[in-house]
Chain A
Amino acid sequence: MTDAILFWFLAFVTVGAGLSVVLMSNPIYSALSLAMTMVGVSALFVTLGAFFLAGVQLIVYAGAVMVLFVMVIMLFDLKHEIQAFTRGKITGAVKIASVGILAGLVVGAITLSTKAIELSQKTQADADTGKTYADNTMALAQNLFLQNVFGFEALGVLLLVIAVGTVALSRSRGGTHARD
């Protein structure tokens, strides 16, 4: 009962914040709503017992990536952007298209979730036989560092390439630290 209330509350907050990312005309509100969506998703992870994933979601996405987004947006003069978001045929078309995609996602999620409920009723029997969520951090680590270590390291190298590439690009024509 409490789980159901918690789930519907969190789902409402997450989906509402996600909708306002698209519907807000002010980019800052959109960015803050996206941060709120991240927080909502991590809270949903907590209700599913994935504590470590929830914490990482909070630290990495909500706490670092989105903060940088918000910081950069706040440094711009936004009057022009707000107008561009509210008027114009192209943005209108983009809005209608994104509403369509969102509607498709919602319908897809609902049809999938009915299957997920059937699945969870099956796994509920497993859960009742004494399996706990306590040590899923260790299971996650074993999955990442023993079974899928190659893909994990490859992703790490890719991210490093991105970071180095960003620095190289920003410095190529003098960049922000030009000294002449």
Chain B
Amino acid sequence: MMDMGSTPFEITINVVKTVLVFLMMVQLVPILVWVERRGSAFIQNRFGPNRIGPLGLMQLLADAVKFLTKEDFVPDKGNKYLFYAAPIFALIPASIAYMAIPMSTPLLIGDSKFLIQGFEVNVGIVFILGVSSLAAYTILMAGWGSGSKFALMGAMRASAQIISYELALGLSIVGVIMTYGTFNLSEMIAQQQGFLTFNGFGSTLTMPLPNWGIFFQPLGALIFFAAAFAESNRLPFDLAEGEAELVAGFHTEYGGFKMLMFFIGEYGHMMIASGLFATFFLGGYNIPWTTVQGVHDWLASFGFSADLTNVLNTVLHFLMYNVKFLILLWIFIHVRWTLPRFRYDQLMDLGWKTMLPWALANTILTSIVIFAAAQFAF
């Protein structure tokens, strides 16, 4: 059926991978918080946290200790079960969805093939969208369970926003799916190797650019990028926690480690958006202008053994994926400290009256071009 573990060896590997990917995500969060605080200080001409440890890096550890030792507070009028359940549920969609993103070319050792991703789902995109759409529940649970008007209002805003922008996000991906003709993320990445090549109208055109999805789907990339900000509830779309109006939105009543778990969930959504953007539009783990096989042959020309070549190939592609991933995460942070917040009616207008029609137009245009390119020749 699928490689979900037909032998104890496969089950063990899968469990280890699941734990590893989850730990990677959780460990990246403090670093991102540090980058966010230092980066915002850099943008705003301040110092930022620079007292504890070199460059203020130990600030994360101090924060974690502070979060863990804070008082465990539950509002009197709130719903205790939902209040405690919400932060835990906040971690689940983000971490499960991220595991479906391939982070490097599969590692071949002997007869075994190790996928550098949590698990491979044949309909990767649908799975990731489906799982991450469950994040709206955690926000609603937190908002209602807090028993506070600020929290409830923030939760309503956040979930309405997530549902609205999910449409534009989903439709912007339809063009990508049609271009590659597959739902499978690994197959998409495999089609983005080498030089930019347009096949159609009976001829082939090659350009000195990497063969990335962004050149086939520029409008889709733009809509996906904007909708991804809204989906992860970050500025300029962070209406859910507009400080001036709502204190802090749905996590007003949360403190200590429970709030940190919401933070991890939010950064998790940022990571999913970055990983997906890299996969759809920036060639995933592919190194620009070359192919996976090309890198493999180049490494083999140094005279390494077959296994070592494969390991180095996988490591190189993993590093390439991480370069793209981290640049995108930095763009997320940079935008947050550069743009002001939308007003709520502007937000809904942008979602329903601008991005949704453009995403639909992109879908129709893509299907027409694909049909024409396959049918006619010059």
B126 touches A63 (CB 8 A): no
A-B contact pairs, 12 of them (CB 8 A): A32-B141, A58-B127, A59-B130, A59-B166, A67-B162, A68-B163, A70-B140, A71-B156, A74-B143, A75-B156, A133-B122, A137-B123
Chain A residue nearest to B4 in the complex (CB)? A2
What 9 A-B pairs have minimum CB-CB distances, sorted nearest first?
A: A63-B133, A58-B130, A55-B126, A55-B130, A51-B123, A59-B130, A67-B136, A74-B144, A52-B123
B366 contacts the other chain (CB 8 A): no
Q: Which of A42, A55, A137 contacts B129 (CB 8 A)?
A: A55
Contact with B along A123-139 (1 / 0, CB 8 A): 00000000001100100
B1 touches A49 (CB 8 A): yes
In the complex, what's the smallest C-beta–C-beta distance from B276 to chain A, in angstroms?
A: 14
> Restricting to B138-187, which residues have a CB under 8 Å from any CB of A?
140-141, 143-144, 152, 155-156, 159-160, 162-163, 166, 170, 183
A17 contacts the other chain (CB 8 A): no
A22 contacts the other chain (CB 8 A): no
B130 touches A63 (CB 8 A): yes
Report the Cα distance A165→B203, complex, angstroms.
Answer: 49
B137 contacts the other chain (CB 8 A): yes
A67 touches B159 (CB 8 A): yes
> Restricting to A127-160, which residues have a CB under 8 Å from any CB of B?
133-134, 137
B11 contacts the other chain (CB 8 A): yes
> Restricting to A80-121, which residues have a CB under 8 Å from any CB of B?
none
In the complex, what's the smallest C-beta–C-beta distance from B18 to chain A, in angstroms?
A: 15
Given A42-B130, A63-B166, 9 more A-B residue pairs with CB atoms under 8 Å apart are A52-B126, A56-B126, A58-B131, A59-B126, A59-B133, A62-B130, A62-B133, A74-B140, A137-B122
Chain B residue nearest to A28 in the complex (CB)? B144
With A71-B156, A134-B122 in contact, do A58 and B163 touch (Cβ < 8 Å)? no
> Total interface residues on A, using CB and 8 Å?
27
- Tell me which residues across on chain B come within 8 A of A71, comparing CB atoms: 140, 156, 159-160
B259 contacts the other chain (CB 8 A): no
With A2-B5, A52-B126, A74-B144 in contact, do A62 and B134 touch (Cβ < 8 Å)? yes
Report the Cα distance A49→B141, complex, angstroms.
Answer: 31
> Restricting to A33-75, which residues have a CB under 8 Å from any CB of B?
35, 39, 42, 49, 51-52, 54-59, 62-64, 67-68, 70-71, 74-75
B121 contacts the other chain (CB 8 A): yes
Report the Cα distance A64→B123, complex, angstroms.
Answer: 19
Count how many pairs of residues, one from A and one from B, have CB atoms less than 8 Å apart in the complex.
84
Chain A residue nearest to B130 in the complex (CB)? A58
- Tell me which residues across on chain A come within 8 A of B156, comparing CB atoms: 71, 74-75
B134 touches A58 (CB 8 A): yes
- Tell me which residues across on chain B come within 8 A of A137, comparing CB atoms: 122-123, 183
Chain B: number of interface residues, binned into ranges: 20 to 34
- Tell me which residues across on chain A come within 8 A of B155, comparing CB atoms: 74
- Tell me which residues across on chain B come within 8 A of A52, comparing CB atoms: 123, 126, 183
- Tell me which residues across on chain A come within 8 A of B129, comparing CB atoms: 55, 58-59, 63
- Tell me which residues across on chain B come within 8 A of A49, comparing CB atoms: 1
Chain B residue nearest to A57 in the complex (CB)? B130
Report the Cα distance A63→B126, complex, angstroms.
Answer: 12
Q: Which of A28, A58, A63 contacts B136 (CB 8 A)?
A: A63
Report the Cα distance A56→B129, complex, angstroms.
Answer: 9
- Tell me which residues across on chain A come within 8 A of B159, comparing CB atoms: 67, 71
Report the Cα distance A93→B210, complex, angstroms.
Answer: 68
Chain A residue nearest to B144 in the complex (CB)? A74
A64 touches B130 (CB 8 A): no
B127 touches A51 (CB 8 A): yes
Report the Cα distance A51→B127, complex, angstroms.
Answer: 8
In the complex, what's the smallest C-beta–C-beta distance from A116 to chain B, in angstroms?
A: 18
In the complex, what's the smallest C-beta–C-beta distance from B367 to chain A, in angstroms?
A: 12
A55 touches B137 (CB 8 A): no
Report the Cα distance A57→B134, complex, angstroms.
Answer: 12
B140 touches A55 (CB 8 A): no
Chain A residue nearest to B143 in the complex (CB)? A74
Report the Cα distance A39→B89, complex, angstroms.
Answer: 13
In the complex, what's the smallest C-beta–C-beta distance from B100 to chain A, in angstroms?
A: 11
In the complex, what's the smallest C-beta–C-beta distance from B150 to chain A, in angstroms?
A: 14
- Tell me which residues across on chain A come within 8 A of B82, comparing CB atoms: 28
Report the Cα distance A79→B144, complex, angstroms.
Answer: 14
Chain B residue nearest to A51 in the complex (CB)? B123
- Tell me which residues across on chain A come within 8 A of B130, comparing CB atoms: 42, 54-59, 62-63
Report the Cα distance A55→B129, complex, angstroms.
Answer: 8
Chain B residue nearest to A3 in the complex (CB)? B1
Chain B residue nearest to A38 in the complex (CB)? B134
- Tell me which residues across on chain A come within 8 A of B152, comparing CB atoms: 74
With A63-B134, A74-B140 in contact, do A51 and B163 touch (Cβ < 8 Å)? no
